[in-house]
Every structure is written in C-alpha cells, then in structure tokens.
Amino acid sequence: MTEDLGVLGQPGSPWCLALSGSAQEVTGRGYAWAEAGLTVRFLRGRKMPAYQGLFDEVAAALQFPWYFGENGNAFQECITDLSWLPPQAGYVFLITDPGLVLAETKDDGLSWLVRSLDRACAEWARPVEEGQPWDRPPVPFHVVLQATQSDMDEAVAAWTANGATIAAVA
C-alpha cells in the first residue's frame, strides 16, 4: 500500500487511477491512505447515475458549503476551492461502481465530469503564490475508480471514451 503513495502523493497527471478489487479490499486501502496523511473521501457510483445524484453524493462526501448551487458551474467552483476540507498531503476521491456514474444521462455527462475533474487536477497542481493567506504549494488531486475485475474493463472503457487517461494502481 505504501507504493500507492508514490502516485497519490504527486500533484498532476495521472489524476484518474483504476484499482481492481472488492469494495472491502479497496476501502481498507483508502483508510490506509488516510492514515498516511491523504484526505480520502468515498463516493458511491450507484448513487450518481444522473446529475442530481452526482451533485448530492459529491456535496455530501466533500461537505460542499450551503451555497452550492447543484449545477456544473457550482460543482467546478467548489471542487477547485475545497477550503473547508484541508488537503493534508493531498486529495483522493475513491469512486465505487464507476461504470454507473452518470450512466442514465442522455447527454455527454461523463465527458463533462471528466473535463471538470481534469481542470480541478490542473488547478490543484499549480502552486498559489500571491503573498496571501490562501497561498499553497501544489496539491495532489486524484480520483481512484474501484470495481471488481469483471466490471473494471467496462468502467475504464467508458471513462476513457469520455476523455480520461487512466493509470492502474497495483
């Protein structure tokens, strides 16, 4: 599990990682990452088949502020702010059942989400050096997709088809 920290502790790409295993196994790794100093949040893909579910699940897990507008622009604003959720050594958002995320949308929902997360990763990878209280070094920002091996190929294909570059976590 400490080998995971090499990738998860680095800002920038690859921001999207795939980890095959049971939810129980991967949850254990997530807790180990948290103990190692990463800010880890678990997101349930089965709760995010459409935009409203995505906004509800992410807002709850990441404790978005009361003013979160439950739309794409508000999502982008909050995911690149997170001032209320200190990163410690970096952010890791572990998504179970990633093949179900925005699967019921009739538009390019997953493509929009991938672009949003890619922009967030790029934003967090840049240091903020303005001589202000909010200055910060580059912060690792990663999304880990968790599925059983039998479901992972389909999930990776869907996320890749929508613009994600995915690396495997051993």
pTM comes to 0.94
- Residue 23: what pLDDT? 87
Distance of alpha carbon 41 from alpha carbon 39, whole angstroms:
7
DSSP 97: S
- Residue 3: what pLDDT? 59
Distance of alpha carbon 4 from alpha carbon 29, whole angstroms:
9
Task: Confirm if 8 and 35 have CB atoms less than 8 A apart.
Answer: no
Q: Which domains does the chain have, with CATH numbers?
A: 2-127+137-168 (3.30.370.10)
- Residue 4: what pLDDT? 67
Query: Which tokens hold the place of 159?
Result: 């996320």
The sheet that has 16-20: what strands, in order across it? 39-44, 91-96, 141-147, 16-20, 166-168
Q: What is the mean pLDDT of each run of 10 residues along the chain (170 residues)?
A: 74 92 91 95 97 98 96 96 92 97 93 97 95 92 95 95 91
Distance of alpha carbon 85 from alpha carbon 96, whole angstroms:
21
- Residue 81: what pLDDT? 94
- Nearest Cα to Cα of residue 32 among 96, 89, 85: 89
